[in-house]
Structure 1
């Protein structure tokens, strides 16, 4: 099982990720797109990196907005896995 990060580690890593915030035990971002089709195309681009990492985000879609939440469920909070996947997601347009 992955090791939980300390509050200091979480704060440090969050500060290096533009557009991501910590809400409770989740690392979150919301992306806005021109329309529903563009939002779904973005979500489809998340599949391969999530599968490769073996770490899958929770995704909420509301028309042109996509909310992504990451947490390591089996560890009960945020681990390095969450920040690694967030960094990859941040590079996807």
Structure 2
């Protein structure tokens, strides 16, 4: 997912769709998230941006991954992620 597109859609100064997101449970439920696969993080950020949430990206130290990613480590995972994210982007058009 190109970060520039995500920045334009949400207005948030994001550089990546990171693995960690934090929100109050009640507010998160109000977003009405529907995707249960690879599109979930993208849907959360897009819906939060549309709802006027404050979205922030914070740099953190981390260790290199051990093992293989279930998403980008396999062709099948990559194709599923791309497919799910395309679907979410088309379903949640601005306007």
**Quick check: TM above 0.5?**
no
Structure with greater proportional strand content = 1
**TM value normalised by structure 2:** 0.31
